[in-house]
């Protein structure tokens, strides 16, 4: 706007000077200015005429570490070339999307592919495509918005856990134990001749007709355990920043454990004490996987509910034979007793702890390598943290709870096994 105002002022001064002095050179400048400005205006107006543009996103969901592929296409359907076009896609994705300045000849088309790495979980937007053009002198500018914005959901990275095992329970599931059971289970493995005492509902009628004598089904006892994951996102116990913070490592661990359990056809539920306590009821299958990933993509370490309170409030949702998986960086021993009390209900327990002071040390080391100024905590704070960690270890050992500790900067699979 300021440039246009300056242009109008200069043109007015030049025109007044030409008519007041009647100098031939000034009239020449007036004609040249009219030609340049008029040509620039026409070139800008035609810059976006008869132009077709669009973009296509290959997927609207992905995991951290994947690449989002976006295909751009620009087509000039007129005989007038487009000497300068600036194409840009505004987005909230970390790192953004690269723009491009291109030229299109008459009746020509350009396409290119952009691969954007997904480096952070969350909900993001890819806004409509912005196309801008102008004249070589910068007098005029024209822009257009093409298409509609799309939402992209980035799920946490799922690490393979080949050695991770949940405690088994004799309940419905998918893994057979090599022993016969008198009770009926979904896993029928063989037929045998009828024996006195066999129930009538165990008769296999097709085999009976084929053999000419009564045949009954034999079942195997299945050994599985459904899981309920407690993800502690209380802000007062978190440590570190970035991908190796306790929040991100805990979310990654929860996603990996849930994916492994669902792959084994277990039912999985989850409680997250974030800004609002979120509860996903226990279920199995791909739909449950999607629900859990969508929840974990949106959570953050901004909770205010202590872990002990979450365990007490959700204990009524756990049934006999399930396994409670607690993922927390908390060194408060108050949550150990409610977790150990679940054992009296026939509920197993597994604890995954994260070392918040270690995450802080890892973050300070990374910032020091980057040249930032870091402040080390005082000795009293360090001693208090170590004392609370020792008290938690003793409390967990007292109740004989199985514990896995995750270390920042190391693969999760190394410790969950």
What pLDDT is attached to residue 316?
84
DSSP 134: E
Percent share of the chain, pLDDT over 90: 35
The predicted structure's pLDDT at residue 175: 43
Give the ranges where 212-371 is alpha helix by DSSP (H): 246-263, 286-298, 307-314, 336-341, 356-369
With contact defined as beta carbons under 8 Å apart, do 307 and 332 qualify? Answer: yes
| Predicted local confidence at residue 41, as pLDDT | 79
Burial class (CB in 10 A: 0-12, 13-18, 19+), 415: middle
Q: Where are the alpha helices (DSSP H) in 48-120?
A: none
- pLDDT reported for residue 184: 54
Residues of the chain with pLDDT under 70: 1-8, 10-11, 14-15, 18-19, 25-28, 167-189, 219-224, 417
Distance in angstroms (rounded) separating the CA atoms of residues 114 and 91: 13
Q: What is the pLDDT of residue 180?
A: 43
How many residues does this entry show for the chain? 417
Phi and psi torsions of 203, nearest 5°: -70, 135
Closest CA to 92 of 127, 56, 130, 121: 127
By the 8 A CB rule, do 28 and 17 touch? no
Query: Distance from first CA to last CA of the chain, Å, rounded?
Result: 65
| Cβ contact 82:76 at 8 Å | yes
Return the pLDDT at 276. Answer: 86
CB 314 within 8 A of CB 228: yes
Token pair for residue 43?
């070139």
pLDDT for res 167: 66
pLDDT value of position 91: 92
pLDDT of residue 172: 44
C-alpha torsion angle, residues 274, 277, 283, 289 (rounded to 10): -30
Q: Name residue, tokens 């998918």.
A: 174
Contacting residues for 24 by C-beta, under 8 A, at least 6 apart: none
- Give percent helix, percent strand, percent coil of the chain, each to the nearest 5: 35, 30, 35
Non-local CB neighbours of 248 within 8 Å, separated by 6+ positions: 121, 156, 242
CA-based nearest residue to 404, from 332, 342, 350, 335:
350
The radius of gyration computed from the CA coordinates of the chain, to the nearest angstrom, equals 33
- pLDDT single digits (tens) 69-78: 999 999 988 8
Q: What is the pLDDT of residues 261-314, one digit of tens each?
A: 999 888 999 999 988 889 999 998 899 999 999 999 999 988 889 999 999 988
CA distance 363 to 406: 15
The CA distance from 273 to 233, in Å, is 6
Beta bridge partners of 269: 228
pLDDT of residue 370: 80
**How far is it, in rounded angstroms, from Cα 139 to Cα 372?**
44
Residue 181 is predicted with a pLDDT of: 44
d(CA 317, CA 295): 19
Tokens representing 270?
């989850």
Cβ–Cβ < 8 Å for 215, 194: yes
Distance of alpha carbon 141 from alpha carbon 133, whole angstroms = 6
């Amino acid at each position: 706007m300021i440039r246009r105002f300056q242009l109008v002022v200069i043109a007015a001064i030049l025109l007044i000077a030409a008519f007041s002095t009647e100098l031939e050179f000034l009239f020449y400048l007036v004609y040249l200015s009219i030609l340049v400005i008029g040509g620039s205006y026409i070139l800008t107006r035609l810059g976006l005429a008869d132009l077709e543009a669009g973009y296509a996103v290959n997927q609207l969901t992905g995991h951290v570490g994947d690449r989002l592929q976006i295909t751009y296409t620009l087509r000039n359907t007129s005989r007038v070339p487009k000497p300068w076009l600036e194409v840009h896609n505004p987005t909230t994705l970390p790192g953004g999307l690269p723009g491009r300045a291109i030229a299109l000849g008459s009746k020509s088309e350009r396409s290119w592919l952009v691969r954007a790495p997904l480096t952070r979980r969350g909900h993001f937007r890819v806004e409509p495509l912005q196309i801008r053009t102008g004249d070589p002198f910068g007098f005029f500018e024209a822009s257009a918005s093409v298409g509609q914005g799309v939402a992209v959901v980035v799920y946490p990275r799922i690490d393979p856990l080949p050695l991770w095992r949940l405690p088994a329970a004799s309940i419905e599931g998918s893994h057979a134990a090599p022993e016969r059971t008198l009770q009926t289970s979904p896993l029928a493995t063989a037929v045998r001749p009828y024996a006195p005492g066999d129930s009538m509902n165990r008769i296999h009628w097709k085999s009976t007709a084929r053999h000419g004598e009564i045949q009954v089904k034999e079942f195997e006892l299945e050994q599985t355990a459904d899981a309920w994951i407690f993800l502690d996102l209380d802000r007062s116990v978190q440590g570190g920043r970035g991908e190796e913070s306790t929040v991100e490592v805990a979310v990654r661990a929860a996603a990996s454990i849930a994916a492994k359990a669902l792959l084994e056809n277990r039912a999985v539920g989850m409680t997250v004490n974030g800004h609002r306590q979120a509860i996903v009821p226990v279920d199995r299958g791909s739909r449950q996987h999607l629900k859990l990933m969508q929840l974990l993509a949106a959570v953050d370490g901004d909770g205010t509910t202590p872990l002990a309170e979450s365990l007490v409030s959700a204990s009524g949702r756990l049934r006999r034979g399930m396994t409670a998986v607690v993922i927390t960086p908390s060194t408060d021993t108050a949550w150990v007793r409610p977790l150990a009390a679940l054992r009296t209900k026939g509920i197993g327990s597994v604890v995954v702890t994260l070392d918040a002071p270690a995450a802080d040390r890892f973050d300070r080391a990374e910032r020091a390598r980057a040249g930032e100024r870091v402040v080390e905590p005082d000795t009293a704070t360090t001693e208090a943290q170590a004392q609370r960690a020792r008290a938690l270890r003793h409390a967990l050992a007292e109740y004989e709870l199985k514990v896995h500790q995750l270390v920042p900067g190391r693969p999760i699979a190394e410790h969950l096994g």
